[in-house]
Amino acid sequence: MTEHAPISLSQFLIEEQRAKGQINADLRRLIKVVASACKRISIAVSKGALGGVLGNLGTTNVQGEAQKKLDVLSNEILLQANEWGGHLAAIASEEMDDPHPIPHRYPKGEYLLVFDPLDGSSNIDVNVSVGTIFSVLRCPDGVVEPDESAFLQRGVEQVAAGYAVYGPSTQLVLTLGDGVNVFTLDREQGSFTLTERNTKIPEETSEFAINMSNQRHWEAPMQRYVSELVAGKTGPRERDFNMRWVASMVADVHRILTRGGIFMYPVDEKCRAAGGRLRLMYEANPMALIVEQAGGAATNGLGRILEIQPQKLHQRVPVILGSRREVERVTAYHQD
């Protein structure tokens, strides 16, 4: 075997288990099953107009959002893949009102799986990157039929988190709570291959991501921060900043993980009643764990996202994450 033999996701997980002992066989199986479900979603997404999967389904989810055919298909792929393996106690999804119990015909395991089956789904019909976000929690001791309350754990309790981004290539970004590793789908082999070990977000950045059309609705600290960025070289920051907004959180976070930046979806007048735009359990927590494990920071403007005690499954929160120094600055403006 050559020195550069590619490392598959399976090999990586076995070696992590051996080296660090923080994962067991069930967690390893869980990650592999989620990864293979992501592979299936990637195939469905890439068929595009030929697969008859574009467009709306004509239904709305518990969030009050129109469901795309691919939202529901991706949800089903993840459910079917994960139900039977014996590694899960229950599943919760952005696309389902209530937690999905493991059918009685299958054995139950010690983990809870939470996901946003298709993130950025408004981008599907225009052929722009979308993704899947997931988070793994432990089922509380003694709970046999986990309901919503079993899932209401702080982000710091996550055992693992990750996302798949379906872009020009499909990549899987994974943390088991000890750094972040990036895998790329080898379409010929049909397997994920490790392409970046222990990735780190650059501390300094000159790139920001925010939906500027909401500017008039933001609170004062966010107005201040973004106006200082936009003022560029002649403003208080004394340098120019660049802006990017894909409107798929997965794609925006992936860019930040790759080359640095700050991502913000603050609370504004439009989403104040809901608490924010993005979902704590399906989006904010898994991304916050990944970003922190890559050396970045993630807050809701006041404190660490990972320390928020969830009150309900579909709770929404303001999100500020990415390069540490910038996140700290925005957070300090909020605390002023």
Which residue ranges make up the site for ligand AHG (CB under 6 A)? 65, 94, 116, 119-122, 211, 247-249, 265, 277
| Phi/psi at 153 (5° precision) | -115, 145
Decide whether 133 or 139 has the Cβ nearer to Mn ion: 133
CB nearer to Mn ion: pick between 119 and 292? 119
Determine how many CB atoms are found less than 10 A away from the CB of residue 49. Answer: 10
Measured from the CB of residue 64, what is the shortest distance to ligand AHG in angstroms?
11
In the complex, what is the shortest distance from the CB of residue 59 to ligand AHG, in angstroms, rounded to a whole number? 14
Closer Cβ to ligand AHG, 202 or 266, answer by number: 266
CB of 250 to ligand AHG, least distance (A): 7
Least gap, CB of 122 to ligand AHG (angstroms) = 6
Interaction partner, residue 90 (ligand AHG, Mn ion, none; CB < 5-8 Å by kind): none
Q: Which helix (H) or strand (E) holds 299?
A: strand 297-299
Residue type, 76: E
The token pair at 79 is 């459910």
Which option in ligand AHG, Mn ion, none does residue 247 bind, with CB closer than 5 to 8 A by kind?
Answer: ligand AHG
CB-nearest residue to ligand AHG: 249
Which helix (H) or strand (E) segment holds residue 26: the answer is helix 25-47
Listing DSSP states for 115-134 in one string gives EEEEETGGGGGGT--EEEEE
CB 201 within 8 A of CB 179: no
- Does 119 interact with Mn ion (rule: CB under 5 A)? yes
Q: Which is nearer to ligand AHG, 61 or 199 (CB)?
A: 61
Judged by CB under 5 A, the number of residues near Mn ion is: 4
Cβ of residue 63: shortest distance to Mn ion, in angstroms? 9
**Nearest CB to Mn ion, comparing residues 131 and 260:** 131
Q: β-strands 316-317, 242-243: how paired?
A: unpaired
Q: What contacts 266, CB < 8 A, 6 or more positions away?
A: 210, 218, 219, 222, 276, 301, 318, 319, 320
Torsion angle, CA of 228/233/235/240, rounded to 10 degrees? 0
248 binds, among ligand AHG, Mn ion, none (CB under 5 to 8 A by kind): ligand AHG
Integer distance in angstroms from the first to the last C-alpha of the chain? Answer: 58
Q: Which is nearer to ligand AHG, 16 or 95 (CB)?
A: 95
Residue 317 site contact among ligand AHG, Mn ion, none (CB < 5 to 8 Å, cut-off depends on kind): none
287 residue type, one letter? M
Which residues contact Mn ion (rule: CB under 5 A)? 94, 116, 118-119
